[in-house]
Amino acid sequence: MARSEIASNGELIKRKIEELGMTQDDFAEKIGIGDRGFRKWLKNGVYDVRTLFRLAEIFDCSVEDLICYK
């Protein structure tokens, strides 16, 4: 995955969190990641498969939507 795609994915996740009316800290807690780790995670775009499926469930979208967002 290209670096620009990773950044775009992080932006998508930030936007989806805002659409849910949550803060990043609240969302990090909901998916079980500490707030500092979550910010780093968003910046670096490192997502394991289980997390991708959990995000897709929370955001009511497909995993493909999350990884192919540009």
Instruction: Determine what percent of the chain is predicted with pLDDT higher than 70.
Output: 81
Give dist(CA 24, CA 6) in Å, integer. 18
Q: Residue 33: what residue type?
A: I
Global pTM reads: 0.67
Q: Classify domain 3-67 at the CATH superfamily level.
A: lambda repressor-like DNA-binding domains (1.10.260.40)
For the CA atoms of 23, 26, 29, 35, the dihedral, rounded to the nearest 10 degrees, stands at 40
Domain-wise residue ranges, the chain:
3-67
For the chain, the average pLDDT equals: 78
d(CA 53, CA 57): 6
Alpha-carbon gap, residue 21 to 15, rounded angstroms: 10
Would you call 30 helix, strand, or coil by DSSP?
Answer: helix
Check residue 8 and give its pLDDT. Answer: 62
pLDDT digits (tens, 9 = 90+) for 26-39: 888 888 888 787 87
Each residue's pLDDT expressed in tens, for the chain with a length of 70 residues: 444 444 467 788 888 899 999 998 888 888 888 878 787 777 776 667 888 888 889 889 888 888 776 5
